[in-house]
Every structure is written in structure tokens, then in C-alpha cells.
Structure 1
Amino acid sequence: MIQSFFILCSGADRDVLDTCSRGEKNKYAGIGATVFFTAVLATIAATYALFTVFDNVYRAILFGLLWGLVIFNLDRFIVSTLKKRNNWWKEFGMAIPRLILAVIIAVVISKPLELKIFEKEIDRVMLSQKNEFTVQNQGEILAQYTPEINKLDAQIAAAKQEIATKETEVNNLYEIYIDEAEGTAGTELLGKGPVYQEKRDKHDAALAELTTIKATNAEKIAQAEAQKIQLRDEFNTAVSTSQPIINNFDGLMARIDAMKELPWLPSLFIFLLFLAIETAPIFSKLISPMGEYDIKLADHELTIKEWSAQKALQRKILTETDHIVNDRVYTDIAQDEELYNYKKKMAKEILKRQQDAFYRRQTKILG
């Protein structure tokens, strides 16, 4: 039962193989088993790869089974069309397109399984990449708000500097009129005279200006701080909106790209393993001697070819003979005097009838 199934997978002609020895059947059962298990691996690989794309188990299984059937059909076709004819170089030349196709299939099958085998290492690389993307994303978003924030910071600093400058001026005027009152500077006269009052008025005027500046600039600073808070909220919103895109950056292409950061040697060996599995049926047929099945299949095909050629030759001879016979028959008929006289008589009758009809038509026209 199992042997019959694997022989079916090998694409061998069952009618011919049933007449062969047990060893020949075992050989093609082994080839069919290779084709079958390659399709199974292809199904598993495609299911995992499509699961990373669709994130849906049922859809991934459905398309994975479809892909496995495609690979099975291709492998079965490749093996079944490669025939032994006791000419190794000719067989190898015929196998080159099939080997190229086998390499492509091996790449397609091995890559998703590599992603699954090195999943933990790929996750570590992708985590590092996501962190880099997060920092880069925040930097790019911050660059959009930095000019406005710097402008507001400059306005706040200018307002504070204006207040500080005015406070320094007021403090200096305060010291001047105090020194005048104590007689330690200015006129050096002790007491609150006219000069003291003049300096005191300047201090009071500057103090009033300072109070006004503080009130005005405090409002400016409060508005600038409010705008900065609003810009920070917009920045945080932009970051939180774009972060899920980075967090979901774990699709098939992202994982393949992340796998490039890992050492290439393990991936190479996995690819070579699947390449060996995929090309094993082809090379087994190439290196194996021409067996009983191959001889009988070649004899069967040659018999059909010769029989077809014989039928074509018979049809050609029959057609040529029929042409010769027809030529002779019509030549003899053309020389028959009785047939000639009869046809001449009928032709005369037709000409007379045509002439009479033409005469009657012309008479009616002329009135």
C-alpha cells in the first residue's frame, strides 16, 4: 500500500513497472518518497511563511497545502520526464533546466524554515532594530518641533533677561539714593535733601517700570510655556501614533532582512540540505545505471513510435496509390467517345435554350 503510493509519487508508468523486479519497484518507491517528503517540507515552510504574512492559522494552512501540492506536482513532473538512455552527457544536458528549477524550489522551501529555526536570534536582531527605529523616529519627529520650541525658549529667555536687567538697574538706583542719604557718595551730605529726593524719584520710577515689565513678561512667559506644553503634547501624540507601526515591523521581509545580520554559515548548510533533498531524485536517476524499467519503457516508447511511423507511411502510400488510380480512371474517361458525344449533345441543347430565352427577353423590352 505504502509502496504503491510512493510509486505513484515518483511518476513512474505503473503498467510497465508492474512487470519489473522488486528491486526496481523499491528504487522508484524511494524516489517517490523523496518527492512526497519534499512536498511535506514545502507545505510546512509555506504555512509558516504565510502565517507571518496573514497572521491567520486557517488561511496559512490552506495556502500552505496549495503550495505543497504545487511543489509535489513540479517534483513529480521533473522526475518522471527524466529518462535513462545510456548517454550520460545527453541526460545531464536534459537535466540542467530541471536542476535549475530544483535550486529555485530549494531556496523557496528552505528560507521560511530558516526563519523558524533561527526565530529567537531573529527576534533579538529585530528588537535591536525596533529600538533603533524608535530612537530615529523620535529624533525625526522632534526635529519638526525643535525650531518652534527653540523660538519659544528664546522668547522666554529674552523676557527673563529683560526683567533681570531692569532689576539690576532698580537695585543700582536704590544703592545710589541710600548712599546719598547716608552721605557716603554723591554730595556726601548726610540727610534727605533735594539730590536725595531726585535720586529716590528715579528709583521709584524704575521700580514702577520693573513692576510693569514683570507683569507683562510674566504673561508672555506663561503663554510661551503653554505653547511649549502644547508642542510637547503634539510630539508625544505623534510618537505614540507612529510607535505601533514600528512595533508591528515583524513581517516576512523584515525577518528575512534581520536574518542577514546572523552568521551565514548555518543558513548555507540548511539551504544545502534542502538542495540535496530536492535534487536527490534527479541525481539518483542520473548516476544510476539503466535499469529494467528504463529498458522496458524505452522499448515501449520505441514500439509506439515505430508503429506510429508505420501507420503514417501506410497512409502516405495509400494516398499516393489513390491519386494514381484516379488519374488513370479520369484519363480513360476523357478518351471515351460515347461520353464525349453525349456531353456535346447536352451542351448544344443548353446553348439553344439560352439563346431562345435571350430572344424572348429582348422582344419584350422592345415592345
Structure 2
Amino acid sequence: MEINKIKPFTAFLCKCAGASLHIMEKCPTQVTKYSTMGTILLITALMASLSGGYFFFAAFKQALLAILFGIFWGLVIFSLDRYLVTSMDFNANRKYINALPRIFLAICLGIVVAKPLELKLFEHEIETEMVNIRNQKHNEMLSSNTEIAQIDSTTRRFENERNQLDSMISKKRREWKRSEEDYYNEVNGKGSVTTTGRQGYGKEAERKDSIRIQVKEEYEELNKKVKLRINNIDKDWQDLQKKVDRKSSSIKEEAEGYEGPLAEIEALSSLTSKTTILKFVNIFLTLIFILIETAPVLVKFSQTKGLYEELLEAHEKENIKNIQDNSDFQEYEKRVEAKRKISQYNGEVVYDEQIKNRIWKEKTEFDLTVIEKQYYNRLQKLANESCVQQMYEEIIKSLKTEELFDIKKQ
């Protein structure tokens, strides 16, 4: 059969697809098919490497480790894809059964490879959506926090009380100012509804002066009490405000901790549920990656057995036959060697004068038990093969039937 030398890069692609080069050289019409399949596997591995590296970097922010993980992940996906392609069986009875789990695994790998790349493609939209989700989570946590709700209630009560006290002191201050104004108008003789219009310090002026002094004292006393209470309220309010600030900061940090690959996936899911166009684009990209991942398996599944497959099958059968022949030959050599050693020992037994004399003397009560034990022990020293036991039994049988030892001839 004519052998065609394959170019190095094409040979590399065929090797990626799991082809045997020395067989592929005998069927050049199959080179394009397997080199194309190898190209698809390499492209898939490259995308998986980029995908895994980005996903690792998004999670841990370590560039060097992300590169190493990307290379490792690409090799893992390449090895799995290569296994899926090379393990496909062309046997019609098992073809469909074997293909289903491989296609399912290829679909899963396609989704795994596609998702990190989708996160990178929609990076800007995802960041915007994550900000909205953080704010939403922050507000939800604030509203659902009972401690903050209690603090807010106490703060509002303090504010209401302070406002009431401010209103009381303002009212008393206005009363005091009116009493002073009324007194001075009376002394100065200014006519009004509340004054007599007579100038000087008379009885009415004295009465108004007494009222003015009393209201002033009441105002000062009330102002003193109100200021003390307001100071206490302000102090308590500041303490509560600090608690609120600490709790709010804790909740804000928790909300801002919403990041990483899982948060990005959730944000992408939220975006696709809101925007129909983005939803279809996301589905379309996922299907593309699934199609790329399953393409080699589908091609291998749909194709019929070609010249390369026929030669490969014949080569495998020949290898199996050679192994069996070699095994049979080795077993044959063992048996020949064992027979040779046993035959050699048989001669020693036949011409062993002590055994012959014993057999002749004890021919009336012939018992080979001792001889059998000696014979078997010496056989084990000579040959330790699996066939010794069978040959030993055959020879002992011949001893007992006088095939090996003809006593009468002695």
C-alpha cells in the first residue's frame, strides 16, 4: 500500500484528533477529516483556557495563578474532548448507546466553557446591574433590620420631644417679651388696648412690672430645664446616631461584598430576565459554544466507517492475535521445558538401583507412597511450572499401572 508523508502541522492536528499517524499515512483521503477535527479540539481548548483563566482571575484577582489555571483548564477540556472523540465506537449495535452520554457530557462542557466568556462579553452591563443589586440589597437589609428600626423610632421620639420643648420655650419667650413691652408702654404713657395711657410709674405700671418680672423668671426657669433636657436628648440622639452609622456601615459593607463570579452570574441572569434582546443574545452565544464543543462528537457519530477505521480495526485485531500467539508460544515453551526436565528425572528414577531393589524386595506388597513423595519433591525442585502437577499425576498413574516400572522384567 502506498504511503504518503503527512506535513508536520497537519500530523499534529491529526494526532490531536486521536489518529494513528502510521495508519493515516496509508489513507490520505482521511487526513482532512481528522485534521479538521483536531483543529476544532484545539480551538475549544483555547477558548476553555481563556474562559477558565478569566473566571479564576475574577474570583481571586491573581494574574499569574489565573494564567496557570487557564492553561491547566485548557488541557483538561482538551483531554476530555479528545477522549470523547477517540472513544466513539462504529459498531452499529452500540453506536447510539455510546454516543448519548458523550453528547450529554459535551453539552455540559460547552456550557462550562461558555459562561465565563459570556461574563466577559457583558462585563459593562453586569457591573451596572451589580451596582443596582447592591443598592437594592442595602435598602432591603436596612428596612428588615429590627435594631435600626428601633433606633429610628427612638430618634423620631427624641426629635418630637425636642421640637415640643423648643415650641414651649419660644412661647414663653414671646409671653415675656409681650409683658416687657406692655410694661414699658405703660410707663412711657403710650396708649393701647392694654395700657392706661398715663405716663409714670403708677399702680398699673407697678402691676405690669410685677407680671413682667414673674414671666421673666418663669421663662428663665423653663429655659434652664428645657436646655438641660435638650442637652440630654442631643447626647442620647448622638449615641443612637453612632449606632445607626455603625450598623449602616456594616450593612453597606455586606452589600458591597456582593461581588465575584457567582454575583456576576446572578447579575447576568437578572439582566436577561429584564431585557429580551440580551436574553436571546445570551442564549445564542451559549448555543454557539455548545455547538463548537459537540461538533467533533456529532461529526464522529454521523460519519460512516472509512478506510482509516477499517485499517485501524484490522491493525488492532492483528495486535490481539499476535499477543495471543505469543502467549500460546510461551506456554508451549514452558510445557516443553517441563517435559524435558521430568523426562530427565524419569530416567533417574528408572535407573535408581535403590528404588529398583526396594521394588523387587517388596514386590509382594507393593506400596509407592514413599516413592511418590520423594518423586514429587524432586519434581518441584526441577520445574516450578503450572503443568508439573498434571504431569506428575500422569507419571504416578503410570507407575502404579507398571507402565514406567515393569517389575516382571526386573
Q: Could you tell me the TM-score, scaled by structure 2's length?
A: 0.68
Does the 8 Å contact 1:179/1:185 carry over to 2?
Answer: no
Residues 1-367 of structure 1 aligned to structure 2 (within 5 Å): 1-18=8-25, 20-85=26-91, 87=92, 90-136=94-140, 143=149, 145-164=151-170, 166-167=172-173, 192-193=202-203, 201=210, 204-232=213-241, 235-236=244-245, 238-239=247-248, 243=252, 246-247=255-256, 249-260=258-269, 261-262=271-272, 263-306=278-321, 325-335=391-401
Rounded to whole Å, the distance in 1 between the matches of 2:404 and 2:78 is 76
Shift of 1:298: 1.5
- Provide structure 1 residue ranges, at least 5 long, that are not aligned to the other structure: 342-367
Rounded to whole Å, the distance in 2 between the matches of 1:289 and 1:102 is 21
Query: Cα distance 1:71–1:337, how it changes in 2: closer, same or farther (>3 A)?
Result: closer
Rounded to whole Å, the distance in 2 between the matches of 1:108 and 1:325 is 64
1:362 alignment counterpart:
none
Shift of 1:27: 1.4
Amino acid in the other structure paired with 1:219 = L
Rounded to whole Å, the distance in 2 between the matches of 1:276 and 1:337 is 78
Rounded to whole Å, the distance in 1 between the matches of 2:34 and 2:66 is 32
Rounded to whole Å, the distance in 2 between the matches of 1:145 and 1:58 is 48
Shift of 1:325: 4.3
Amino acid in the other structure paired with 1:300 = H
> Which deviates more from structure 2 when the two are superposed, residues 209-218 or residues 63-72?
209-218
Shift of 1:26: 2.0
Rounded to whole Å, the distance in 2 between the matches of 1:240 and 1:308 is 75
Shift of 1:295: 0.7
For residues 138-192 of structure 1, give each alpha carbon's deviation from its aligned partner in whole angstroms, at most 9, with x where no partner exists. Answer: 6567536312312321331342244356457768988999999999999x9x995
Where 1:264 maps in the other structure, the secondary structure is: helix
Query: Cα distance 1:338–1:97, how it changes in 2: closer, same or farther (>3 A)?
Result: closer
Where 1:84 maps in the other structure, the secondary structure is: coil
Rounded to whole Å, the distance in 2 between the matches of 1:185 and 1:280 is 104
Which has the larger helix fraction? 1
For residues 178-220 of structure 1, give each alpha carbon's deviation from its aligned partner in whole angstroms, at most 9, with x where no partner exists. Answer: 999999999x9x9955x98678646633431221110221232
2:370 alignment counterpart:
none
Query: Cα distance 1:196–1:77, how it changes in 2: closer, same or farther (>3 A)?
Result: same
Does the 8 Å contact 1:174/1:203 carry over to 2?
Answer: yes
Shift of 1:127: 2.9
> Which deviates more from structure 2 when the two are superposed, residues 108-117 or residues 173-182?
173-182
For residues 224-260 of structure 1, give each alpha carbon's deviation from its aligned partner in whole angstroms, at most 9, with x where no partner exists. Answer: 2344345445544554565455445331111111111
Shift of 1:331: 1.6
Comparing both chains, which one has the higher relative contact order based on Cα–Cα distances under 8 Å and sequence gaps of 6 or more?
1
Shift of 1:12: 1.9
Rounded to whole Å, the distance in 2 between the matches of 1:229 and 1:152 is 11
For residues 103-142 of structure 1, give each alpha carbon's deviation from its aligned partner in whole angstroms, at most 9, with x where no partner exists. Answer: 1110010001111112222222223223434544565675
Rounded to whole Å, the distance in 1 between the matches of 2:313 and 2:150 is 76
For residues 258-277 of structure 1, give each alpha carbon's deviation from its aligned partner in whole angstroms, at most 9, with x where no partner exists. Answer: 11122321111111111111
Rounded to whole Å, the distance in 2 between the matches of 1:291 and 1:337 is 62
Q: Give the count of matched residue pairs.
A: 333
Shift of 1:102: 0.5
For residues 27-70 of structure 1, give each alpha carbon's deviation from its aligned partner in whole angstroms, at most 9, with x where no partner exists. Answer: 11111111111100100111111111111221111111110010
2:349 alignment counterpart:
none
Where 1:53 maps in the other structure, the secondary structure is: helix
Does the 8 Å contact 1:35/1:72 carry over to 2?
Answer: yes
Amino acid in the other structure paired with 1:256 = I
Rounded to whole Å, the distance in 1 between the matches of 2:292 and 2:403 is 84
